[in-house]
């Protein structure tokens, strides 16, 4: 079964909008785990507009499944990950002012940099993943860095799927085949939802983990967190 890691950035955004501690991020994360979530994902950005760096430290103390920290490996981020020592770090090439992730790494252009960063994290026992577009050449480049996994950037799939175009999955199938042949673990994330998750999972061999935040929280506004988390788990079986 593919694991479900829930991204709690939107919970932090809601909390920060009033300047207090409601909703309490730690309680929501713990509740999500009790509802069946198999991991908690956070993506702290330099301006801390949703997840704060302190949130990463606090979550490490209470998460009982897997903690995945995503972000662009600037020095401040590297230092945080080494301090917190999460289960997994996912490297994402976000610009400082990015609203959300919008591209995977050019693993060929940035090969030396990624190799050095990956080595640092793996030396400290942290599982590593690189955010990539569904392009076999980029998957091959990722493998050369020494990373444990890749995370397929699924926005293009989700966009085309919503239009009824299921053929977009073909590039992801090819990228996954390349990853499998190279011995890389496969994660996926970005705009995956209850509508498209089963189709994606059924077509991607050896999909280990999906990270879902925006859609899951939006769906939960209508259906409830406990219900939505278990709806995802049923689709990922």
Report the distance separating Cα 174 and Cα 53, nearest Å: 36
- Catalytic residue flag (residue 190): yes
Catalytic residue among 33, 50, 66, 70: 70
User: Angle at the Cα of 87 (from 198 to 115), degrees rounded to 5?
Assistant: 95
A 10 A CB-CB count for 108 gives 13
Catalytic residue among 50, 151, 190, 209: 190
> Of 133, 236, 139, 122, nearest to 180 (Cα)?
139
End-to-end CA distance of the chain: 5
Contact yes or no for 12/55 (Cβ under 8 A): yes
Give me the helix-helix angle, 136-145 and 111-123, nearest 10°: 50
What residues have CB less than 8 Å from 31, skipping those under 6 apart?
Answer: 225
What residues have CB less than 8 Å from 126, skipping those under 6 apart?
Answer: 81, 82, 85, 86, 87, 88, 89
What residues have CB less than 8 Å from 117, skipping those under 6 apart?
Answer: 73, 78, 91
Catalytic residue among 43, 66, 151, 219: 43
Give me the helix-helix angle, 155-162 and 169-182, nearest 10°: 150
Report the distance separating Cα 160 and Cα 37, nearest Å: 27
> What residues are labeled active site?
43, 70, 190
């Amino acid at each position: 079964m593919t694991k479900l890691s829930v991204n709690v950035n939107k919970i932090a955004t809601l909390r920060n909008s009033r300047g207090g501690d409601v909703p309490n991020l730690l309680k929501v994360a713990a509740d999500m785990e009790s509802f069946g979530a198999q991991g908690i994902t956070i993506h702290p950005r330099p301006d801390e507009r949703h997840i704060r760096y302190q949130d990463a430290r606090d979550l490490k103390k209470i998460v009982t499944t897997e903690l995945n920290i995503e972000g662009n490996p600037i020095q401040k981020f590297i230092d945080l990950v080494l301090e917190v020592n999460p289960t997994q770090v996912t490297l994402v090439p976000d610009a400082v002012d990015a609203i959300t992730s919008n591209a995977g790494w050019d693993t060929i252009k940035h090969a030396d940099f990624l190799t050095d960063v990956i080595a640092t994290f793996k030396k400290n026992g942290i599982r590593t993943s690189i955010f990539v577009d569904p392009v076999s050449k980029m998957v091959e480049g990722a493998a050369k860095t020494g990373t444990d996994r890749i995370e397929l950037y699924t926005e293009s799939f989700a966009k085309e799927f919503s239009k009824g175009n299921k053929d977009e999955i073909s590039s992801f199938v090819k990228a996954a085949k390349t990853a499998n042949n190279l011995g890389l673990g496969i994660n996926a994330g970005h705009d995956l939802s209850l509508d498209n998750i089963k189709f994606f999972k059924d077509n991607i061999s050896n999909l280990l983990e999906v990270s879902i935040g925006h859609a899951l929280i939006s769906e939960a506004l209508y259906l409830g967190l406990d219900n939505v988390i278990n709806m995802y788990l049923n689709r990922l079986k």
